Structure 1
Amino acid sequence: MRVLLLGGTGEARELAQALTDEPGVEVVSSLAGRTSDARLPPGAVRQGGFGGVDGLVRWIQEHAVDAVVDATHPFAAVMTDHAAEAARTSGVPLLVLRRPGWTESRGDEWHWVSSAEAAAKVLPAVGSRAFLTIGQQGLSAFAGTGLWMVARCVDPPEPRPDWCTLILDRGPYDLDGELALFREHRFDVLVTKDSGGPQTVAKLVAARQLGVPVVVIRRPPLPAGVVAVPTVDQAVEWVRGRR
């Protein structure tokens, strides 16, 4: 059984390892190639885009793929939409592996918005020293707010922004480090995406402990009819059920 695993997340690497150890399963992990020095999963790996839905359909057919698992980032909406359409067109089953989103706890002050643009609009009413942790995509929406900002990314955006201070770093992050960063820069608002997972949750705990409000960008919805599971173990069971 050949599985095309659309990856780029920690869960995708875990799933690639688990499927590599499964008898009778061959897994090919596909990475978009947007992050330099990406952590490669075990097993076969391809990098780069497919060329849209038609290109993905061709790849599935030419490589005799039996199933597709989309374990991309929760905000990789275009890839997920393409995977759903390509799976329907080629007649192969599709599973989406999505880690659970974050939930508010006592002491949190969260402001939910639907996009980076919406976050930029509400930001001046929430704080004046912002910590942006949304990655490269959507960062330009904040250029016109006029607020003092620090943006943390894995890779520098192109063109490099001159309206904020950049911190280039890759998680996981611990609570002590995040608390020190908040205090050093005197952040009074955090902007993040509802990415979920433990690798970057420490910033939310730091904001809670320091009484800093958070602007949270909601996840895009999954395509209609798509089957989704929240854990690697459930994804492995889904693959086993299709052997």
Structure 2
Amino acid sequence: MEEFLELSADTAEDDRILDRIKLLAQESLLVGWLNWKTLDLFKVTLFENKLNVDPEILNKLRFALPTVGLAQTFNPLSVDLPEKQYRDLKLHASPVFDSLKVNTHLEGLVSKSYNQKFLERADELTGSLTHGLLKQRQILMEGIKSLAAKHTGAYEDIKQMFLGESQFKEVSDDLLQFTCARRAEIIEMRRKALKPKEQQHVAKLSEIPPSQTHLFDIDLLSKFLDQRGGLSKIFSKVDDH
């Protein structure tokens, strides 16, 4: 598995995702996981004799990357998958220091109220905080890896202080989860402010996930509007109060 840490992706965005997966593996898997070997096996081959499964294989199968943690490598805003109605699609949300943009089709519907401007700024702030926390984790893991290479005998002490079930790790996880959850709530409030006239349209619009840059996926929103006769058939005039 050592080769895994040397892998690189074809694009900058995929590289960021890959870096998060590497970090998650370093935080979640057992000491020595870099020495594990990978094999391509079918399930029928692996478990054809249920009474005599290699205990070494069973031992490895006990350890997997946390589901939510793995989801967050693709989507840092994922906090609790069963509660996110757009959990299977990208909620990765936006460039690091920017809030999600209002889709071009919907710009004329956006209220100019203080509340909406505040939510937009809060979106930007929580996005920046989330990025900073993820970057901090990455730098910490790189530092731990460097220290462990220089002082092999100190790794267990370092792990107890900063990884696994350490107090530092618990506080770090809680802070990241809190920040991600708050941004998800803010994005949801911004989306709900764009409310169609009929309840059936409200439900369908809510099913359209955010894109990496906009409150709603651009292609899915266009399809939604086209299938229902256009913007004026779905939305009322905006209230600026």
TM-score per shorter chain, which class?
Answer: under 0.3
TM superposition score normalised by structure 1 = 0.24
- Greater per-residue helix proportion: 2
- Greater per-residue strand proportion: 1
Q: Which of structures 1 and 2 has the bigger CA Rg?
A: 2
